[in-house]
Amino acid sequence: QQQVKQSPQSLIVQKGGISIINCAYENTAFDYFPWYQQFPGKGPALLIAIRPDVSEKKEGRFTISFNKSAKQFSLHIMDSQPGDSATYFCAALSGGYQKVTFGTGTKLQVIP
Amino acid sequence: DADVTQTPRNRITKTGKRIMLECSQTKGHDRMYWYRQDPGLGLRLIYYSFDVKDINKGEISDGYSVSRQAQAKFSLSLESAIPNQTALYFCATSEPQGKLFFGSGTQLSVL
């Protein structure tokens, strides 16, 4: 059962463009939504995270938009750079933060 | 030195062989996890442990076993490897607030 659905599976964006990755969840008990970034040959690393009491969180060129009523959240990468080329995973946790449920991942390629 | 260290980085084995993947951490975290990554399927939880005496199955534990030898060490075993266990395996630790710290992974190929 896929509790967090992520799209698209892959994405190609021109340098300077906006990359958008979308996720949807089903479990209303989720209350923490992180995004992880994974470079080839490396493990995922936390990029940015949001709690459902806010609709947006921005850190540099990375922004999470959160729509609680629609049970959707998205990652926006502004002014995308070739160094942003990586696989991105959305995730969700519920109270106690014991287990993380991951989306299926999006492979982003930013071309010059 | 890496906070979460996995050995080996790469392993090729044959069907039916028993293998062990090892993980050690210097984060001082109680919570440790084993994940499997497959293209198009994302990261799936195999086993997790919240302390030395606590072991829990994840969503895909069949064919795997684990051992928590100490707070810092958590190993994953495949008792009799099969080709569909070919995957990238990650060990991770977490803070109580849920932030995960991953190792660099073990690429396992079962022939």
- Are the Cβ atoms of A43 and B102 closer than 8 angstroms? yes
How close B43 gets to chain A, by Cα (Å)?
Answer: 6
Residues in chain A within 8 Å Cβ distance of B31: 98
Mean pLDDT of B70-77: 97
End-to-end CA distance of chain A: 38
- Are the Cβ atoms of A44 and B102 closer than 8 angstroms? yes
pLDDT digits (tens, 9 = 90+) for A18-73: 999 999 999 988 989 999 999 999 999 999 999 989 999 999 999 999 999 999 99
Q: What does the alpha-carbon distance between residue B98 and residue A46 come to, in Å, rounded to a whole number?
A: 10
Mean pLDDT (chain B) is 95
In the chain, the amino acid numbered A47 is L
Residues in chain A within 8 Å Cβ distance of B41: 104
Q: What does the alpha-carbon distance between residue A43 and residue A55 come to, in Å, rounded to a whole number?
A: 28
Give which of A91, A75, A76 is closest to A25, Cα–Cα.
A91
pLDDT at A1 exceeding the cut of 80: no
End-to-end CA distance of chain B: 32
